[in-house]
Structure 1
Amino acid sequence: MGENGAAKYYQQPAFTPMDVSIEAGNGHQGLKCYDDDGRLKRTGTLWTASAHIVTAVIGSGVLSLAWAIGQLGWVAGPVVMLLFSFVTYYTSTLLADCYRSGDLMTGKRNYNYTDAVHSYLGGIKVKLCGCIQYANLFGVAIGYTIAASISMMAIKRSNCFHEKGHDNPCHASSNMFMIIFGVTEIFLSQIPDFDQLWWLSIVAAIMSFTYSSIGLALGIVQVVANGGLKGSLTGISIGVVSPTQKIWRSLQAFGDIAFAYSFSLVLIEIQDTIKAPPPSEAKVMKKATLLSTVVTTLFYMLCGCMGYAAFGDEAPSNLLTGFGFYNPFWLLDIANVAIVVHLVGAYQVFCQPLFAFIEKWAAKKWPESTFITKEIAVPLSSTKHFNLSLFRLVWRSAFVVLTTVISMLLPFFNDVVGLLGALGFWPLTVYFPVEMYIVQKKIPKWSTRWVCLQMLSLACLAITVAAAIGSVAGIVTDLKVYRPFKSS
């Protein structure tokens, strides 16, 4: 059994489709309810897969893009963004082909990213991939908690500025908002399976378009009010920042842009929700990836460029909470509510693979433990009930609490976003997809295609290292003046 929906499958025998037909008393009807691997028939489509991707991609990362373009300038900023979008799309198509081992229509399914690495690469690379993927998912949970709390705090401060004027400091603490976000995630984390999150992803995708559109509209209005575009060809000027800061911030901008495209780590899990061929899951996933990448890149370019055009060197690290915009305050409030709702869903999309991995491991380690394997049927109505797992309740709640506490200790939105983007981009978006594709297609070593793929991987490694260095430098600088649990 794969990891997705692990808690659900632990309690059930590993039925084959034939087993199901015998139990159902109607062979052909029973077969129709299950896929070729004996699991309940998948129902995902191009649109649900696209919604999952958009939920994962157009996240809090879009809000830092005006700042990122501000560090790089009008030339390098858009070029870097386009390069990241192309690389992400290309390597995602390679990864989509790795969902099944062997034939794309009938090969053995790989239920998650680590399963795919195990099938194609094996050995120490499986453990390495698992560590990187799950550490990144853990980090994303922290980043999203920080971003959601900043948006909730921005609503409070926006209303304060409206009542008391822009000169009032309107201090607010993010801690209470982080706790509110964490409590919400404790409840939602009890949803057992990834494929039961489709409705949450669609809501979250709508929210992401809502706040991105508001940010874009406010940027356009500000540009009109300014009477022209701000910014320069080379980005923030030396003098406004020191030469060393210019280097660090430019490198960190690479990490911010990389984070804005970080969805490869859940691509296989999303693909595992798509209904069985024909057409193959890989074909549907490639179309969903192309659609999502084009849409998100368009939004990213518009939001990032218009934000930079509106504020120039003073572009805030978070476009809708940095208070470059003060009015109309009610529109800012709507945008920030949309951000929070989106991040509530995105948190679950990213964390479900990690939840499922731990639950599968625990069930394998202690198969006789009723605490781990038993589920309690909680009635919701006369015809519906919810299967509550005590282990799932305890472990997932503990995970949310831990990420919330770490977020309260390190609430540096931009630096955390940059570091997460840097650490996850090369290994998960480039290296493993390239290596698996080479094995699957049996590409000869030192052939032209092999050399080109390796050059792409090495170039992305260099960018990842540089972006990580810039983000760490930013965190070190922030820590020198930061005091935990203080209002800002």
Structure 2
Amino acid sequence: MIHGCRAIKRADCFHSKGHRNPCRSSSNPYMILFGAVEIAFSQIPDFDQIWWLSIVAAAMSFTYATIGLSLGIAQTVANGGFRGSLTGVSVAAGVSPAQKVWRSLQAFGDISFAYSYAYILIEIQDTIRAPPPSEAAVMKRATMVSVATTTFFYMMCGCLGYAAFGAAAPDNLLTGFGFYEPFWLLDVANAAIVVHLVGAYQVFVQPLFAFVEARAAARWPGSRFLAREVRVGPFALSVFRLTWRTAFVCLTTVAAMLLPFFGDVVGLLGAISFWPLTVYFPVEMYIKQHGVRRWSTRWVCLQTLSAACFLVSVAGAVGSTAGVVGAVKLHRPFSGY
């Protein structure tokens, strides 16, 4: 959301003052606004009650990905051909060999984050109505369609963004300002990013909310604080939910203001969570559920897949850590730049 809001302001600034104007602005006000919005949405009690927000977020994701893809195609056609090369950014283009290695490894972390969704699958499955068809069949089809769609759009946006700009391609085609015009279309895309991230935050954080609150209820079953509610207009709000969820959102907002380099942190989080949650545990559960014999062909293939994804996670974590360290040296805490 923060980058989307800043990008809208910068796009309008570039349009009115020219592309050479730095158009700098602090991200802190947008982070505070994001936190305030998420405090309100975080009071939605359960995951199944945010289905509408998830649909809106998915529609917004489709919107800005389509715009980015279209602009990449248009820019490539305007260039008269592809820029860049199969070997990527040249070391001679102001990038040292070490930087190229770290950035390549960090890309694994960014890709891993895009597929680190496994831990919310159970929460999603709980919202599916009873069969027919079965929840497992619905989830299998939904997973195949969503992964295929996500892979298509991300691969096309990445490849066409590089084809359009080559070594000058920004980290994010829309907020990194590879494109400047038409500015109104960029505003639409960045507004879609803002709405998408508001919904995405809730989709990922609601399972954590549910886990903490279930553990608290089991630990203190007779607590009056946990049971107490206050009425705000037509809504009955749990005092415990209001207190701890607000504190959590405030903490994440402060962390975002302290570490305002989104890409590096996302890559690190993605690398850390990808292998254990998306690969290792699902593979081990499949082996246990289907009784796959140790050292059978299927067992060896599954373990090889798990080991390969583990190496991807390690590579992504190493590259993203180097990126975070480098970004820390260039940023001042709470500076918003």
Q: What range describes the TM-score normalised by the shorter chain of this pair?
A: over 0.9
Cross-structure match for 1:450: 299
Cross-structure match for 1:481: 330
- The Cα shift of 1:379 comes to 4.8
1:362-373 residue pairs with structure 2 within 5 A?
362-373=216-227
- The Cα shift of 1:374 comes to 2.6
Contact 1:155/1:336 (CA < 8 Å) preserved in 2? yes
- The Cα shift of 1:401 comes to 0.3
Cross-structure match for 1:192: 45
- The Cα shift of 1:154 comes to 1.0
Contact 1:367/1:373 (CA < 8 Å) preserved in 2? no
Q: Does 1:432 align with 2:286?
A: no
Q: One-letter code of the match for 1:300?
A: Y
Between the aligned partners of 1:291 and 1:306, the Cα distance in structure 2 is 22
Q: Percent identity?
A: 69
Cross-structure match for 1:87: none
Contact 1:363/1:373 (CA < 8 Å) preserved in 2? no
Cross-structure match for 1:339: 193
Relative distance call for 1:476 and 1:379 in structure 2 (3 A) is closer
Between the aligned partners of 1:346 and 1:414, the Cα distance in structure 2 is 16
Between the aligned partners of 1:460 and 1:315, the Cα distance in structure 2 is 27
Relative distance call for 1:399 and 1:251 in structure 2 (3 A) is same
Cross-structure match for 1:149: 2
Q: One-letter code of the match for 1:302?
A: M
1:375-414 residue pairs with structure 2 within 5 A?
375-380=229-234, 386-414=235-263
Q: Determine helix, strand or coil for the equivalent of 1:388.
A: strand
1:68-79 residue pairs with structure 2 within 5 A?
none
Q: Does 1:320 align with 2:169?
A: no
Q: Which residue of the other structure, out of 16, 38, 54, is the alignment partner of 1:201? A: 54
- The Cα shift of 1:378 comes to 4.7
Between the aligned partners of 2:336 and 2:88, the Cα distance in structure 1 is 31
Between the aligned partners of 2:163 and 2:85, the Cα distance in structure 1 is 9
Cross-structure match for 1:441: 290
- The Cα shift of 1:238 comes to 1.5
Equivalenced residue count is 336
Q: Deviations over 1:88-117 (max 9, x none)?
A: xxxxxxxxxxxxxxxxxxxxxxxxxxxxxx
Q: Which residue of the other structure, out of 155, 160, 172, is the alignment partner of 1:301? A: 155
- The Cα shift of 1:173 comes to 0.4
- The Cα shift of 1:377 comes to 5.0
- The Cα shift of 1:367 comes to 1.5
Relative distance call for 1:349 and 1:487 in structure 2 (3 A) is closer
Q: One-letter code of the match for 2:321?
A: V
Between the aligned partners of 1:165 and 1:157, the Cα distance in structure 2 is 11
- The Cα shift of 1:193 comes to 0.9
Q: Does 1:292 align with 2:146?
A: yes
Q: Does 1:261 align with 2:110?
A: no
- The Cα shift of 1:396 comes to 0.4
Gaps (5+ residues) in structure 2? none
Contact 2:257/2:336 (CA < 8 Å) preserved in 1? no
Q: Deviations over 1:286-345 (max 9, x none)?
A: 011111112112211221111111111111111111111111111111111110101101
Relative distance call for 1:487 and 1:168 in structure 2 (3 A) is farther
1:105-184 residue pairs with structure 2 within 5 A?
148-184=1-37
Between the aligned partners of 1:484 and 1:378, the Cα distance in structure 2 is 36
Using the size of structure 1 for normalisation, the TM-score is 0.67
- The Cα shift of 1:438 comes to 1.1
Question: Which of structures 1 and 2 has the bigger CA Rg?
Answer: 1
- The Cα shift of 1:256 comes to 0.9
Q: Determine helix, strand or coil for the equivalent of 2:188.
A: helix
Q: Does 1:282 align with 2:107?
A: no
Between the aligned partners of 1:158 and 1:475, the Cα distance in structure 2 is 27
Between the aligned partners of 1:448 and 1:294, the Cα distance in structure 2 is 26
Between the aligned partners of 1:300 and 1:168, the Cα distance in structure 2 is 30
Between the aligned partners of 1:485 and 1:356, the Cα distance in structure 2 is 31
Q: Determine helix, strand or coil for the equivalent of 1:153.
A: helix
Cross-structure match for 1:239: 92
Q: Which residue of the other structure, out of 49, 70, 74, is the alignment partner of 1:217? A: 70
Between the aligned partners of 2:130 and 2:166, the Cα distance in structure 1 is 49
RMSD value over aligned CA atoms? 1.2
Q: One-letter code of the match for 1:347?
A: Y
Between the aligned partners of 1:455 and 1:296, the Cα distance in structure 2 is 24
Between the aligned partners of 2:37 and 2:121, the Cα distance in structure 1 is 25
- The Cα shift of 1:368 comes to 1.6
Between the aligned partners of 2:230 and 2:128, the Cα distance in structure 1 is 29
- The Cα shift of 1:484 comes to 2.1
Q: Deviations over 1:208-256 (max 9, x none)?
A: 1111111111111111221111111111111121111111111111111
Between the aligned partners of 1:460 and 1:391, the Cα distance in structure 2 is 39
Q: One-letter code of the match for 1:423?
A: I
Q: Determine helix, strand or coil for the equivalent of 1:316.
A: coil
- The Cα shift of 1:387 comes to 2.9
Contact 2:119/2:277 (CA < 8 Å) preserved in 1? yes
Q: One-letter code of the match for 1:455?
A: T
- The Cα shift of 1:392 comes to 0.3
Q: Does 1:471 align with 2:336?
A: no
Between the aligned partners of 2:232 and 2:181, the Cα distance in structure 1 is 47
Contact 2:115/2:278 (CA < 8 Å) preserved in 1? no
Contact 1:151/1:337 (CA < 8 Å) preserved in 2? yes
Q: Deviations over 1:54-108 (max 9, x none)?
A: xxxxxxxxxxxxxxxxxxxxxxxxxxxxxxxxxxxxxxxxxxxxxxxxxxxxxxx
Q: Determine helix, strand or coil for the equivalent of 1:235.
A: coil
- The Cα shift of 1:376 comes to 3.9
Q: One-letter code of the match for 1:416?
A: V
Q: One-letter code of the match for 2:171?
A: S
Q: One-letter code of the match for 1:444?
A: R
Using the size of structure 2 for normalisation, the TM-score is 0.97
Cross-structure match for 1:418: 267
Contact 1:174/1:487 (CA < 8 Å) preserved in 2? yes
Q: One-letter code of the match for 2:296?
A: S
